[in-house]
Structure 1
C-alpha cells in the first residue's frame, strides 16, 4: 500500500525531536533502549498507550515521557511507523512468530486496522506454503502454518481466516486425522463438527478426482488411501483417503 501525500507528511516528522511533545522509550532487557520522539495528537488518535494520559508521567524539556519496556524495539518501530502512515507490512519479511507478536501488540494498544492487516499478512504467508507445482499431497508445513495462524485470533476474524483455505480444492481440504480427533474430543459440538466434516470430505471426494478438480482456479492436491471409486468428471478410477478408523480413535 503506497502512502498518500498526507501520510508522507506525517512520516517526515516521525521521530523528529524538533516537533515532538511525547517521548516513548522502548526496549526489553535484551534490547538496547530506543527513544521515539512522537506527537500526542497523532499517537493518541490511533492507539492507546499506557501512562500517556496519567498525571504521573515525567516531563523532559516540556515533552511527556513514558516507558514501554515489555515490547521489542523492532515490533514497536513497525507499530509507530504504521501510526504515522507507513502501511506496508510485507516489506519487513516477518516470520510467523514475529507476526504473532505484532498482532498481540496491535491488540494491546488497540490499533485494530494494524491487527487485521498483520493477520492478513500471516494468512498470505501460510498460503505461500502451498506447493506451486501441484503435487499429490500438501506438505505438513502448510497445515502447521495454518494451525499457527488460527492460534493468533478467533471466530471474530472468520472472514479473514477464510483466506487460509480459499485456494484448497475439495480433495486437499482433508486435514490430518489427528486434527479431526482433537476437534471431536474438545466438546459435544466439536464431535458433531468433526463427524460432519469427515462425512462431507469423503462424499465430495467421490465426485471429482484431483485431475478434474485441477480445472478450477483454486489449486489442486490429492491424498492417497485404500479404496477406489470412479470420478464423476472423467470416469477414471481414483484412490481416496480412508475414514477415521477405530484404531485411530483408541490411540
Structure 2
C-alpha cells in the first residue's frame, strides 16, 4: 500500500476494457461523469482509500464497480495516469487552482508521491509569476499572494515539503526579501507562518554565504556598521555608508 511513484509504465493498459477488473465512475454533477476501466493490482497498491473502496465494492459482470463523486474527472484522470506511470505533470497545463485541487485529491487518496509532485508544480507556477524589473507594487502583490497560497498547501512537518518550498525564495531577487512597512504588516495580518519561515531561512542562507563563522557571532549592529566597501558576491564597490 501507499506506493509513492510507479517504477513501471502501465499506460498501455490504462483505461483498457479488455484487461480491466474495475470500473470507476468518476465526476461531479456540475462537470459531468466519466467511467474508467482500471486494475485493482495498480490502484489498490497506490491508494489505501481506493483499496478499501474496492474491497467493499460489488462485482458486476466480473468487474468491481466503484464511484468517486467528490472530484472532477479531469483531475482524477491525472491521478489515475500517475498511478499507471505517467509521472510528468509539466504537460498538464494546470493553473494554481487546478494544482490546489490535485494536491487535495492526492492527500485524500493518500497518493504521497503525486501530492509532492503537484506541490513542485505549484512552486513553478509561483516562481514563474516573479515580476521582471521595473514592475509595480501591484505586480509584486500578485506574486506574494501566489506564494502565500502555495505555502498554505504544505505540511511543515514534512522535510521534503520544506525543501520544495525553498525554491520560492531561491529564485527571488534578494532586494525583495524584505520585511518592512506595509509588507511586514500584511504578513502579520495574514498569519502565514510558513512564508515567514521561508523568509528567515533565506536570510540565514545569505548570512552563511557572506559572513565567516566568527562574524556570524557578532551582533547585528556590529555587522551593519562594517566598513566593507565591496559587494561580497561580485566585489562591486558599494556606495559609502551614511
- Partner of residue 238 from structure 2, selected from 220, 235, 240: 235
Aligned-pair CA distance for 1:185: 6.6
Distance 1:105 1:65 in 2: 20
Q: Which residue of 1 aligns with 2:162?
A: 158
> Do the aligned partners of residues 152 and 214 (structure 1) sit closer, same or farther apart at CA in structure 2, a change above 3 Å counting?
same
TM-score, with structure 2 as normaliser: 0.72
Distance 1:96 1:20 in 2: 33
Distance 1:131 1:186 in 2: 22
> Do the aligned partners of residues 13 and 173 (structure 1) sit closer, same or farther apart at CA in structure 2, a change above 3 Å counting?
same
- Partner of residue 174 from structure 1, selected from 169, 175, 178: 178
> Do the aligned partners of residues 46 and 61 (structure 1) sit closer, same or farther apart at CA in structure 2, a change above 3 Å counting?
same
- The 5-angstrom pairing of residues 17-36 of structure 1 reads 17-36=17-36
Q: Which residue of 2 aligns with 1:147?
A: 148
Aligned-pair CA distance for 1:175: 5.0
Distance 1:20 1:127 in 2: 41
TM-score, with structure 1 as normaliser: 0.70
Q: Which residue of 2 aligns with 1:51?
A: 53
Residues 7 and 85 of structure 2 are in contact (CA less than 8 Å); yes or no, is this contact kept in structure 1? no
Per residue, is there more helix in 1 or in 2? Answer: 2
Residue by residue over 1:47-103, the C-alpha shift from the partner in whole angstroms, topping out at 9 and shown as x without a partner, is 23152122xx22221100010011001100000001001112111110111000000
Distance 1:75 1:186 in 2: 29
Distance 1:90 1:140 in 2: 26
> Do the aligned partners of residues 105 and 53 (structure 1) sit closer, same or farther apart at CA in structure 2, a change above 3 Å counting?
same
Gaps of 5+ in 1: 216-231, 240-251
| Partner secondary structure for residue 51 of structure 1 | helix
Provide the alpha-carbon RMSD of the alignment.
3.7
Q: Which residue of 2 aligns with 1:64?
A: 64
- The 5-angstrom pairing of residues 9-24 of structure 1 reads 10-24=10-24
Q: How many residues align?
A: 207
Residues 169 and 213 of structure 1 are in contact (CA less than 8 Å); yes or no, is this contact kept in structure 2? no
